[in-house]
Structure formats: structure tokens, C-alpha cells
Structure 1
Amino acid sequence: MNPFIELGIRHDIVNAITELGFEKPTPIQEQAVPVLLAGSNDFVGLAQTGTGKTAAFGLPLLELLDFSLNAPQALILCPTRELCLQISKDIEKFAKNVPDVHVVAVYGGANISDQLRQIRRGVQIVVATPGRMLDIIGRKAIDFSNVRYVVLDEADEMLNMGFQEDINNILSTTPKEKKTWLFSATMPAEVRRIAKQYMTDPVELTMGTKNTGNVNIEHEYYMVRARDKYAAFKRIVDFNPDIFGIVFCRTKVETQEIAEALIKDGYNADALHGDLSQQQRDKVMKRYRDRSLQLLIATDVAARGIDVNDVTHVINFSLPDEIENYTHRSGRTARAGKTGISIAIINSKEMGKIRQIERVIGKKFVKAEIPNGFDVCEKQLFGLVHKVNNVPVNEDLIGPYMARIMEEFAEMDKEEIVKRFASIEFNRFLDYYKNAPDLNAVAESAGSFGDRRETSGGKGERFGRTGYKSDFTRLFLNLGSVDEFTRGDMLGFICNNTKISGKSIGKIDLKGVYTFFEVENEVVDKVFSGFQTVEFKGRQVRVEMAGEGRAEGSKGGFGHGGGRPKPSYRSNSQGQRRGRDNDHESGTGFRDFSGKRKEVKKRW
């Protein structure tokens, strides 16, 4: 018999979750579902993120609610838009075979009229963020008199975000006889107080030790000088060619700066923070879930509710201000029983915080060493070799070309072919890595945290303009197609703000959240001047030197040593150009891992 049926879940729901890959209950589901199915108790469940909490409360709700009654019977409150959408979508999938189930997601940043329309049509389950829920209650647009169950998911994070008063106001509109189910990763005093205020003799279930982290996560820290943090971060990423990670920063500004610096340095990265529109956030998350994005750079708030499988690494570019937030961050990896790595990049002054985190999570950090240039090259090179070993071969499509290929290689033996194949990648970075400095720091010589400003945005890793043998300069602008620009719109936007002629603008390469464009060398200063104070929908517009060279054989832009290895472009089967970003998606591209400083002129 299916183990979910043994828990008391009926066949049509079990069939739906089986199609979703549910084979056996997680520990929180196994212990919480029978208690919640009774429907007669308040409940407190303490478990880490990624343990299956949504199903733990979602499946019992589908058993307990009367779906012939088209009125709100369950209210689920959660801290962020992403988590709100995730929960509502999951419950809809669980209820695939149950007729007349209506779920609405109520969250800020989306059209409230659409949400009100759904509520008027009739819903039984409301999943909401506190701010938007209060707005709808204030409009007297929802009736909670039939609510029987309230779920507070990620309760600790809602309180950390200052939603205590909002939660009180919302719960005051629900019947006193309702049952309240509270789920939280940690149990600080504030959560304990809210449980005491709204619950009567709740059943409390703790998976693992309170406030501790997932046992399947390895915790590492790298100690570097503050000025080397960005270079060290990139080297860690390069040493893990198959990384699929989330990188946490403290602020929205730092998040955006790191993401933009990485994009310009050839990494497949993007930012997720509160200053993005809902449309932008949705597009970024879709790319990440589809694994067409390798590094997601996020703030703590924006990352709440990210439920993506197989995240290999969580990287703390900056440690959180609240120690307990580290547990939430690291919980993005090692989900559903898998393993993962949580990395902290610190300076000597932050060792005390590492020791505090160790006490909270109940595990020791391992001190790791930033790999040297040779180690990175070796790892990347053999990563490429392994991909070649495992690449599927389409015999039908490649067959017609094999005779010509064999003819081209006829005068080479196997060893020579392998050498040349490896050198395609190796030659591009050989000169660059040979003098790569040691980025590891010891406590006695570590740089002060006061140097952070120099490196947090990766400013020292960017290209300068001097030395390019071209009539045009390639620039980066932090707006793109998700901001509803076409190439024509972008051309007009640049001309209008800089007062230059369209004839002075060369190629415009419009991407999702950014754009590369070329301008004649003599108008570069005019472009920077024109964009100094420009804002777009409340966001500062940034124009900077692009992070890649343009002219063949171009040098300069680095403090010392040769220019950065140029990407090799090639066409795919549709004739589209593929370059550095595509190489990195497959883990075969090589990037800047030396840590060498580059000259850069600040233009804003």
C-alpha cells in the first residue's frame, strides 16, 4: 500500500502527488499529517526549509475542507511573493484530481484587481502575504467568517520582516474557534509568543534539534582579505564548474552590483531583490528553475520561498546580520534528503560570527583554502574532459560530416588530437593563471572590513577603455528587454539622454535585464555624462565599460599581464551566435580566476 494512503490521504490526491514524484513521506509529513488530519488541534511544527512542509499542511487541508462551499475556509500566510506563489501552485497540483478546488495567491507587486476578481468568483484556500492581505481586508473585499484553519508558514521570517502587527490585525478578522497551524525553521522568543497568543495547548513537533541546520549540508568558510573578496568568490565558482548556486548579499544595492559585475565578467548570473518588478522577478526565477541560469544573486528577503531542487551550493558573499538567517540561507541547498555545500567568504574580523553560527546550527565549519590558479585550470580542464566523455552523439546528424572530419585529422595521431583539443581551452588562459596570487588570508594579516566597499561590487575586476584598437567602445547598461525595451526603444533612450546622434551608436545587444551597446570613442564621455542622473521607473540607470574586449588581439585593461582570454564564438544549429555565456552554462568556459587587479575609471 502507498505510504501516503496509510497516513490517511485519499487515493485521488495520492495519485496526483505520485505523478509529482512523491514516493514516501518526509519525516515532517509522516508525523504532522496524522495530527493535522484530526483537525482538532492547534499545531507547531519546527523543521528546516526543504523538508516538505507545504505538503505537510497542504494535504490535510485538502482532506478537511468542504469544497462544495465556495467561501474561504483556509488562510495561509507567508512572508514573500515567491513563497506565496510556490505554495498556491503546489496545492493546486496536489488537488489536480479533486473537483471544485479554488486557490488564490494574494501578494503585492501584482494587479490587485485580478486577485479581487478571483476572490469574488469564490475560493476555499487563500495563500497571502500579510501586506496585500491587509489591503484586501481594508477594502472589505473578503469574508473570513467561514475560515476553519489558519497556517502561518515561515513564521520566524514573517516576524523578522516586521509583520507582527499585520498578522495580529489579519487574525483578528478570523473566527476564534479556528485552528492555527504554525510552521517555522527556528523558534525564537517572538515565535513562541505568537504561538502562546493564538493557540490553545498546541501539539508541538520538532524535526531535529531546535534552530539547528540540515545535517546533509557541509559548511565551509574561506578567509580572504576584504579587497580580494570578489576575486576569491569568482575563483571558488570557477573551481566548481557544475555549480548551480544561490549567492547571498546583505543589501539590494550589493546584490545588483555583484550580479552586474558577474554578468560583465562572463558568468551566467542574475539578481533577485525587492527593487525588481514582479515581472522581472518572475522571469529571473523562471530562468533559474529551468537551469538556464547558473548563479542567482539574492537578498535574504527575496530568496524566501525559493524552492528549487538540486541547488549544489549556497554562497554567503556577505554573512547575514541575524545569525538565524544563516539557517534559512543554507536551507536552500540539500533539499529533499540530498546533500549540499554552504560557503561563507569572510575576513578575519568575522571569525566570531562563524563561531556563533556554529553554536546555532550545531555543526562545525571546515576552513577551506582558496584554490590556486593551477588547481582551477586543472578542475575546469578535466570538467571539460568529463563532459566530452559523457556527451550524447547523434549518429544520424553527424554521420554525413564524419568523412570530412576524419580527412582533416588524418595526419594526426590520437595524442596529437587530444593535445590540440585541450589546448583550445588551455591556451586561452595559460598566460593569465600562471602568476595568479594566493588569495588566502590568515587572521594576523587579514584586511579590515572597512575595505569592503572597494570590492563588494567587483569594481577592481572590470575592464578599462584604454588600449582597444577600435573606433567603437562597448558599454554596459543595466536595462534590458524585461524593462519592455526593443532595440529601437533602446536606441532612442540612449540618444535622448546623451544628446548624441544615432549615427554614433553601433551594435545594440539587448539582453534580458541588461544591454551591451557600442558608441564611437569620441562620444564615450558624453554618454557617461548624459546618464549620470538618469532614473528609469525609480531605478538608477548605470552605464559602465563592458567586461569583454572587442578588437582581435586587443590588450590592456588589466593592471598587469595580458588581456583577458577572449570568448570563441560559434553558431548553433539555428545559426545563432553562441559565446562566453553559453560556454559557462555548460561548465566548459574559463573565466578570470587570477585575482589580478584591473585599472578602471569610475564614471558615475
Structure 2
Amino acid sequence: MITFEELGLDDRLVKATSELGYINPTPIQEQAIPVLLSGTKDLIGLAQTGTGKTAAFGLPLLHVLNEEDRFPQALIVCPTRELCLQIVKEIVGFKKHMKGVNVVAVYGGSSISLQIKDIKRGVQIVVATPGRLIDLIERKAINLEEIKYVVLDEADEMLNMGFQDDIEFILKNTPARESTWLFSATMPNEIRRVSKKYMKDPVEITVGQVNTANKNIDHQYYITSAQHRYETLKRLIDFNPGIYGIIFTRTKRDAQEIAEKLTREGYDIDALHGDLTQPQRDKVMKQFRDRSLQLLIATDVAARGIDVKEITHVINYELPDDVEIYTHRSGRTGRAGNTGICISIIHSRETFKLRQIEKIVKVPFNKREIPSGKDVCRKQFFFFMDKLLNADISHGDYETYVPMLEEKFADVSKEEVLKRVAALEFDRFLTYYENAGDLNTRTENRGDRRDRNDRSDRSDRNSGRERSGRDARDNNSFNGDTARLFINIGTKDGFYKASFLQFILDMSDLRKDVLGRIDMKEMNSWIEIDKKAANQMIRSLDGKNFKGRKIRMNDADSGGGKRR
């Protein structure tokens, strides 16, 4: 296998990577670094999250910079504060033996005046989120005219979050740019358009296949009824006693409600969603990184850019609508060569949707039985025994207490002691799961066949209407009257259908089953919605600010929004 030394990097960088324990580059590093060392070639690097993309662009950046010039020469743009700080942390590790190189992070939610002071002290590399970077540009606190290298990291995430205009503004304002390096896990059409407009004959490197999932991840799914979804989640957590993971929900309301329920039941968990202030978010993330929290429950919007190592499980409380979102969710585990598990809790009607995702990401999804109460107790018991046997007794003066223990337990057998220890540890589990029911949905029974026949009969009678209904509602339906809402947001704002759907659900705290057809145009969109939920959506979005302009939402049929 090739080593970092053989890639042609500066000796100081090779020394730093060796001290960090990096001997052999990952596939994306091995292919990208030799191309980027020239500093003059544009590059598109497609690889899953957790494959070492930061080193793939960070090491060559440090190699080509001029250490003598103390002004911004390289700009790394990424979607979130967390990823921004993670990139800086890794680059600081790589530049350990390059004392003249400085790097600064600029992001929202922190003092802009302190960040301006850091820049004025003299830096070569600026790592920034788009919004804060544009603030600095407008204040004339940063000069991009001498930027030679621009890196767009997690480019698909940035476009998905609506930063397309910001990215184009940044690229337009770096006139001396010698090369642009774009790294992404997926390749939506928006990225292709940006690359054609601002990059010249880019070298394209793909590690694996676009949209494919990480092969180190075991993709599992469990089928249950909608009413048992929470109980299934709880049982799966209990069945994996060493779990350290992220649970994904569709809405911030779900995230908060589930976190509150699990907290009341004694689990170390907290929620990450859009209603948190930046200090609150930082506190939750610190607790999760420190493992004070065993589980983090988050919406897709809130979780973007989270980079935490050694996550064992990702749980989809519900399947996302878009394959790219599934890829990003599952990519939180199985990082840096480790293995991971991605679990999806689904309803029997979602199996077709799951098969579509499976086909695109090109990995098998394994059906698992929801464990019984006895299975959970057995798993917890073996986990406790291993923990007991592996307990570190070398750091305490336990020998002092052994005679007292022997005296206290003189008339108690070893078996009795073990039983009492087990009772103290497992009484709650044994009581809770004593009469636990079967949560699995059995799909191959007479009732299901009757349901299928009923559906078949209905489709024979109403085939045209059924097909159009399915297309419009993406397999979700609701009863009652519908309303049609207008909103002055469209594809030009960087949204595609799945990300727009997530945005309006997150803002309104509504569930997807109240929505019908979504018709997106360049400047505006129209949303079909259950009439009972229409006012809540309007109240939640109308008048709010999005990227510096006011959102306008109203009843389209009342004349407020006309189709263009």
C-alpha cells in the first residue's frame, strides 16, 4: 500500500500525519492529493462522509501555501458551525510542524468582532460558513481578492440548505482563484451546474459510486405498526445496551417529544433541533461528544455537519423521502474504517419505498425481527456480566474491604450473591418486559391478503384517480377537504423537493401525512394540504425571514398566489 510520504507531501506534513497515526492514505486521499499538489487544477471529489475528505484537501492546501504571506490565501466553505470547527481542528493537527501557518474559523452564533481580530492578526486559511463569510465581506473585514484556493466541503449539504446564491456570490468575489476544489457525498444537478459555471475542466474523482452507501454499515429494518413505533424504538435501544448513536426524526416536535419521553424513562438523551439557541446547541453537542449523552435525537436540518467519531448506530425513526438524505444519515456511523449499523423503523406500506432506496444506494437492507422482552433481558444480562468481569479494580484499595465483605456474606452462597446483584441491576427490565408483547407486523396473513385484494379492487375501479393520487401525495394521503397554499420560495432558493418538504415541516411542526401534492417552480411553490392544518402552516411561515427576505405564504385559491 502507498504511504503519505510517497504522495509527494512536504516532509513536515508527513511527520505530522505519522504522529497522528496516519500511515496509509484512504482512497479519496490517495487519488486527490497528487492532483491537488500542483495547486492549479480544479477538482470534484465524490466520496461518502467519514472517508477522510478533510485530509484530502487539507494536506495539499498546507503544502501549496506561502507561509511568508500573512493574508488569506485559502478559503474553505462548509455548511455548519460544527463542521467548520472540526475542519480547523484537523488542519491544526496537520500543521503542527508548520509554525508560520495560521487558520481561523468564522461562523454564526459567535462574536464576529473576535473573528475579525483573528483575521487581522494574519491568517493563511479561513474556514467559514456561508452566512458569516458574507457578513464579513459586506463589512469589508475580509479581502477575498488574493484568495488562490477555494474549497467547497459537503457541497451537496450546502445546496440542500439553500446556500446556492451564497456560494455563487463567494465564487464571483474570488477573482484571483487559481483552483476550486469541490467535495461532496452526492452529485445533485445543482452541483453539476455550479461546477460547469465556475470550474475549468475539473478532474473528477469518485470513490465508490455516487449516492451509494458506506459498505462498512449494516443496513437493517424492522416492520411495526405506526402505533408501536415509539415502543419499537425503545426496545431496540434496550436491545443494544452499548449503543452510542443518533436518532433521526422528521420534525422538531417529534425530536423534542421523543427525547422528553426517553429522558423521563431514564435514558441519557437530548434533542437537537431548530428551536435551540446556539449556546444550547453547543451544550448538547459537547455532552454528546463527551458521551455524557448516550443518544442524540435530531432533525435532518439540525444534524447537518455533525462529525462525531465512533457512533455505533443511526436510527431512522421514520424513513426520509430522499435517497441523499438517507445516505447522509447513515454516513454518521461506520466512519474512518469502523463498522456501524443503520436501523430503519418502518410501516409495512413503506417496504416499497425502502426497496427503492436499497436499489439506488446499492447495498442490501436486512430485515430483522423486533426482539422479544426475553431477548432484551438476556442481552442486557450478558452485557452486564461482561461489564462486571471487565471492571477495573486496580485503582482502589478494595483489599481493605474484602475481609468485611467476607464476614458480611459468610452465610450467603456465591449463587445467592450473584442473584442479588442481578436483581439490583435487572429488576426494572424484568418487571417492564415481563409481559411484553410482539411488536412485529406480520405481513403474510389472510388479513393482509384481503387488504391487498381490497386495494386491487379499488384500483380496478379507480385506476386513473389512484395513480394520480399516489403521484401527488408520494404514497401519503389524508381525509377531508384540502387547501392549496402559495409560498414565494422555489428551486432558485436552492431547494429540491425533498429538502423543501423537510423545511416546511420543520418550520410548521406538522407531519407529512397532512400534505398532498407539492408543485415547485423557480420562484414560487404551491402546496396541497389538509384544510385543518393550513392555518398552522401559514402562521408558522408567513412573515418569517429566509436568507434576508420575508417569506410570503397564503391561500392560493383566495387569489393571493397566482401560478407563473
Paired residue for 2:102?
Answer: 102
8 Å CA contact retained: 2:2, 2:25: no
What is the 5 A alignment of 1:90-489? Answer: 90-175=90-175, 177-394=177-394, 396-443=396-443
1:118 is paired with a residue of what secondary structure? helix
- Could you list the structure 1 runs, at least 4 aligned residues long, displaced by more than 6 angstroms after superposition: 444-451
Aligned counterparts of 2:286 and 2:19: Cα–Cα separation in 1? 21
With over 3 angstroms needed to count, the CA separation of the structure-2 counterparts of 1:165 and 1:395, relative to structure 1, is: closer
CA contact (8 A) 1:349 1:449 kept: no
CA distance in 2, matches of 1:260, 1:422: 28
Displacement of 1:450 after TM fit? 8.4
Unaligned ranges ≥5, structure 2: 452-474, 479-543, 545-564
Identity of counterpart residues, as a percentage? 60
Instruction: Name whichever of 156-165 and 347-356 sits farther off.
Output: 347-356
Change (3 A) 1:396 1:132: closer
Distance 2:313 2:43 in 1: 32
**Counterparts of 1:263 and 1:156 in 2: how far apart (Å)?**
34
8 Å CA contact 2:4, 2:24 repeated in 1: yes
| SS of residue in 1 equivalent to 2:336 | helix
Aligned equivalents of 1:90, 1:80: Cα separation in 2: 16
CA distance in structure 2 between the partners assigned to 1:403 and 1:92 by the alignment: 53
What whole-Å deviation, never above 9, does each CA across 1:272-322 have from its counterpart, x for those lacking one?
223222222222222222222210112223322222221110001122232
Where 2:4 maps in the other structure, the secondary structure is helix
Tell me how far apart the structure 1 counterparts of residues 233 and 33 of structure 2 sit (CA, whole Å).
42
Deviation at 1:408, TM superposition (A): 1.4
- Could you say which residue in structure 2 is the equivalent of 1:9? 9
CA RMSD of aligned residues (A): 2.1
Whether the 8 Å CA contact 2:29–2:53 is kept in 1: the answer is yes
Letter aligned with residue 389 of structure 1: L
1:8 CA displacement: 1.6
Match of 1:25 in 2: 25
Q: Secondary structure at the match of 2:105?
A: strand
Counterpart of 1:189 in structure 2: which amino acid?
A: N
Deviation string for 1:69-128 (max 9, x for gaps)?
111111111111111111112111211221222212111111111112212222211111
Counterpart residue number, 1:527: none
Aligned AA (2:139) = R
- Residues 542-593 of structure 1 show CA distances to partners (whole Å, capped at 9, x for unaligned) of xxxxxxxxxxxxxxxxxxxxxxxxxxxxxxxxxxxxxxxxxxxxxxxxxxxx
1:41 aligned partner: 41
Residues 347, 449 of structure 1: 8 Å contact kept: no
Task: Output the amino acid matched with 1:54.
Answer: T
What is the DSSP-based 3-state SS (H/G/I as helix, E as strand, rest coil) of the residue aligned with 2:205? strand
In the alignment, residue 430 of structure 1 is paired with which amino acid? L
Aligned partners of 2:147 and 2:176 also within 8 Å? no
What is the TM-score with the length of structure 2 in the denominator? 0.77
Structure 1 window deviating more from structure 2 (234-243 vs 364-373): it is 364-373
What is the rounded CA distance, in whole Å, between the counterparts of 1:124 and 1:4 in structure 2?
A: 23
Q: Secondary structure at the match of 1:440?
A: coil
- Of 17-26 and 234-243, deviating more is 17-26
- Check whether the contact 1:226–1:449 (CA below 8 A) recurs between aligned residues: no
Question: Measured at CA, do residues 122 and 176 of structure 1 come closer, stay the same or move farther in structure 2, by a change above 3 Å?
Answer: closer
The answer to whether the aligner puts 1:66 opposite 2:66 as a matched pair is: yes
Contact 1:80 1:301 in 2 (8 A): no
- How many residues are paired up? 452
Contact 2:149 2:177 (8 Å CA) reproduced: no
Q: Which amino acid aligns with 1:208?
A: G
Q: Distance in 1 between matches of 2:286 and 2:431?
A: 38
Displacement of 1:214: 0.5
CA–CA distance in structure 2, aligned partners of residues 396 and 434 of structure 1:
37
1:514-525 → structure 2 map (5 Å cutoff): none
> How far 1:443 sits from its partner (Å)?
4.5
Q: Report the equivalent of 1:547.
A: none
What amino acid is aligned across from residue 410 of structure 2 in structure 1? A
Whole-Å Cα distance in 2 between the matches of residues 431 and 164 of structure 1? 54
2:344 partner SS: strand
CA distance in 2, matches of 1:87, 1:432: 44
Q: 2:70, 2:123 within 8 Å by CA — same for their partners in 1?
A: yes
**Counterpart secondary structure, 2:355:** helix
Letter in 2 for 1:383: F
Worse overlay, 203-212 or 417-426: 417-426
CA contact (8 A) 2:150 2:177 kept: no
* Residue identity matched to 2:201: D
Alpha-carbon shift at residue 194 of structure 1 (Å): 1.2
Residues 1:449 and 1:440: Cα distance change in structure 2 (over 3 Å): farther
Task: Check whether the contact 2:39–2:178 (CA below 8 A) recurs between aligned residues.
Answer: no
Bigger shift: residues 395-404 or 14-23: 14-23
Partner of 1:78: 78
Check 1:429–1:291 CA distance in 2 against 1; reply closer, same or farther (3 A cut): closer
Partner of 2:469: none
Q: Can you list the C-alpha shifts for 1:466-494, whole angstroms capped at 9, x where unaligned? A: xxxxxxxxxxxxxxxxxxxxxxxxxxxxx
Q: Which amino acid aligns with 2:140?
A: K
Q: TM-score, structure 1 length as denominator?
A: 0.72
